[in-house]
C-alpha cells in the first residue's frame, strides 16, 4: 500500500480508502445508470443478440463512468485526485485536446 500511496501522491490511509470506495461506488453507479439509458434507446437483450447488446452496453457505460468519476470523487473529498486521474487517462486515449487551455 505504501508504494501505491507514493505513486498516487496520497498522504494517508483514509484518503486511499476513500479512493478505493469511489472506484467501487462509481463502477456500480455507472452500470446502474446505463440500464435506463439502454431502455430509452430501445436496446435490450430481448430485442437483439447478446453479442451486440453487451458490447454496446459497455461502450455506453464507459462515458458515463468517466463523467461521473470526478463527481463521486468530489462527494468523498477526492476531486483533485480524480480530476488529475481523468485527465491522464483520457490523454492516453488521445483525448488530451479536451483539456487544453485556450490562450
Closest Cα partner for 56 from 65, 45, 66, 67? 45
- Looking at the 3D structure of the chain, how many domains does it have? 1
Query: By the 8 A CB rule, do 19 and 8 touch?
Result: yes
Query: By the 8 A CB rule, do 88 and 96 touch?
Result: no
pLDDT in tens, 19-71: 999 999 999 999 999 989 888 988 888 888 989 999 999 999 999 999 999 99
Closest Cα partner for 72 from 30, 38, 31, 35? 30
The model's pTM is 0.78
pLDDT in tens, 63-99: 999 999 999 999 999 999 999 888 888 888 887 777 6
Helix axes 50-75, 13-40, angle to 10 degrees: 140
pLDDT score, position 7: 86
Which cell numbers hold the place of 77?
473529498
- Domain extent at residue 84: 1-99
Amino acid at each position: 500500500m505504501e508504494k501505491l500511496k507514493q505513486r498516487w501522491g496520497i498522504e494517508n490511509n483514509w484518503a486511499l480508502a476513500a479512493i478505493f470506495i469511489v472506484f467501487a461506488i462509481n463502477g456500480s453507479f455507472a452500470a446502474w445508470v446505463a440500464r435506463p439509458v439502454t431502455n430509452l434507446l430501445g436496446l435490450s437483450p430481448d430485442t437483439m443478440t447478446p453479442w451486440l447488446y453487451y458490447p454496446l452496453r459497455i461502450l455506453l457505460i464507459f462515458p458515463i463512468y468517466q463523467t461521473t468519476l470526478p463527481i463521486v470523487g468530489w462527494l468523498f473529498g477526492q476531486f483533485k485526485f480524480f480530476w488529475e486521474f481523468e485527465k491522464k487517462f483520457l490523454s492516453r486515449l488521445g483525448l488530451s485536446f479536451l483539456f487544453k487551455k485556450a490562450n
